[in-house]
Amino acid sequence: MRALLQRVTQACVTVDGDIIGQIDAGLVIFICAMPDDTESTASALAAKIAKLRLFKDDAGKMNLNLKQTGGAALVISQFTLAADTARGTRPGFSYAAKPDQANALYEHFIGCLKGEDLPVQTGRFGADMSVALTNDGPVTIWIDTDKP
């Protein structure tokens, strides 16, 4: 799986003009399932993200995880994280999981984050969404489960 994390002071996702997910301070997690991913891949990624120390402590060091700060996660499915731009000028998306598999893994990932006792808001799988956020730091982290 691939995830792009952004530490935010606030974020929301809108579909057809309606806000469907909104958080204050926390993480926006753009997530993409790949064809070889499984529920165990999604579970491990959720556990890792829940434990990542991306938030400042009293000394100003990134020593706190999302739960320690009382923040929330806004999880948005984004198949374009699998874009292949090696040839030409039009990205290909054959590295992304098929929609049925991707949606199942997206939902499993969300469930795993909730299982970590994190407040979670979401986008809508497959929808045309507008995402507004204020990146804090800026802190943006890329995680690819196929890479060390």
Output the CA–CA distances (angstroms, integers) from residue 93 to 20, 32, 80, 85, 96, in the order listed: 26, 11, 7, 9, 6
Strand-pair category, 26-32 with 72-77: parallel
Residue 88 phi, psi dihedral angles, 5° rounding: 65, -160
Q: From first to last of its 148 residues, what are the pLDDT tens digits of the chain?
A: 999 999 999 999 999 999 999 999 999 999 999 999 999 999 999 999 999 999 999 999 999 999 999 999 999 999 999 999 999 999 999 999 999 999 999 999 999 999 999 999 999 999 999 999 999 999 999 999 986 5
Extended strands (E) in the chain: 2-15, 18-23, 26-32, 55-56, 62-64, 72-77, 120-122, 130-144
Active-site positions read 80
The domains of the chain, with CATH numbers, are 2-86+102-136 (3.50.80.10)
